[in-house]
Amino acid sequence: MQVLYERCAGLDIHKKMVVVCVLITHPSGKVEKLFRTFATMTSDLLALDEWLHSLSIEHLALESTGVYWYPIYNILEEDRHILLVNPQHMKAVPGRKTDIKDSEWLADLLRHGLLKASFIPPQPIRELRELARYRKTLVGQRAQEVNRLQKVLEGTNIKLAAVATDILGKSGRSMIEALIGGEQDAQALAELARGRLRAKLPDLQKALEGNVRPHQQFLLKQLLAHVEYLEQALCEVQKEIEQRLAPFEAVVQLLEQIPCVQRIAAIAILAEIGTDMSRFPTHKHLASWAGVCPGNKQSGGKRLSGASTSGNPHLRAILSEVACNIARSKEANYLTALYHRIARRRGKQRALLAVAHSLLVCIYYVIRDQKVYQDLGADYFDKLDTARIERHHIRRLEQLGYVVTLAPKETA
């Protein structure tokens, strides 16, 4: 096979060490192999960097192993071409499984150009991605603590959630703080209601009749303090995100023009796929990478499975959330029409995945072309085959015993 890189290296990465195999092809065709093992501390990785520089190694391949490749990539990425390889795309020869053989196999595949690089966004997008994912984690933790708080209230026979829409609104917080302070009188607690909740004072007074024990007061205090801490952390993380978002503000505003894509979702999508769509030759490649398209598994001329792949779980989750909002939306547009069209025939779950796929296709072209989203309209599918729709409705009316005569609507 043709040798593409005369000097290259393969790295087999572990938690505490990295095994490096360097392949150097001499003009005579002889291949020199060099093996070295380094620890994964920063000083050791800097020594690895110097060793590779001394050998003029500019092409590297390393396997994607959890998060252990992060520090190595951060130190070695400057002035080098690094391929991060999915473990499924390279398999070691059976019966030859050692760390040295793994690194040699990686280097040999790289030497002949047989590896496919994973998508790694540039540093600013990677930083934004870490912040966006951490924000989502904080949102999930806050939701868990609110559920725990609600569980404690149920244990005290207080049914605040049955009357108040948000138990941690201004009124709900005041009542919970009063409960923590030892207030047990339902009427006094109900008087803390504000705004529209005061219209429900009789029901609220009944809901607040309970018995809060000392250990439950302690739990409520701890849970409320943790919720407030998480809310403060969310505000700080959001400020940091907004500061790093300045170079990409125009793209975020374009994404917000797509139906049901709010700012938080737009930022999360941008953090996952970046702004350079040249990394994906077509929208099909992006959909496959995200895992929102049918799988491809055939053998013997038969299709064995069409299940979608896992793809990028973070991006897929965001697209699914937006698709759910589209399904519930009362706004008439192309995406809502697509959902209802498929949901009638294939079910809601398949319809949601189809909407997520179409949504990602729209995002791909909006970012690539830097153009505002243009909706095809809620009547797009009706215009595809008007004659078929006419025949269908005429046949249904005739089955009900009507004689149908069509006449074009008079134009003004």
Each of the 412 residues of the chain gets a pLDDT tens digit; together they read: 788 899 999 999 999 999 999 999 998 889 999 999 999 999 999 999 999 999 999 999 998 878 899 999 999 988 899 999 887 766 655 556 788 888 888 898 898 888 888 888 999 999 999 999 999 999 999 999 999 999 999 999 999 999 998 999 999 999 999 999 999 999 999 999 999 999 999 999 999 999 999 999 999 999 999 999 999 999 999 999 999 999 999 999 999 999 999 999 999 999 999 999 999 999 999 999 999 988 877 777 777 777 888 889 999 999 999 999 999 999 999 999 999 999 999 999 999 999 999 999 999 999 999 999 999 999 999 888 888 888 999 999 999 999 988 888 775 4
* Token digits of residue 307: 């299940």
Contact present, 125 and 275 (Cβ < 8 Å): yes
Which residues fall within 8 angstroms of residue 364, CB to CB, at 6 or more apart? 277, 280, 283, 286
Q: What pLDDT does residue 297 have? A: 75
Backbone phi, psi, residue 373, to 5°: -65, 130
329-337 long-range contacts, Cβ below 8 Å, gap at least 24?
A: 329/259, 329/260, 331/259, 332/378, 333/259, 333/375, 333/377, 333/378, 334/375, 334/376, 334/377, 334/378, 334/380, 335/259, 335/260, 335/359, 336/259, 336/378, 337/378, 337/379, 337/380, 337/381
Give the DSSP per-residue string, 343-362.
HHHH-HHHHHHHHHHHHHHH
Q: Which residues pair with 13 in a beta bridge?
A: 18
* Nearest-angstrom CA–CA distance, 334 and 377: 5
Residue 411 has a pLDDT of 58
Distance CA 209, CA 156 (A): 9
Question: Which tokens hold the place of 367?
Answer: 């970012």
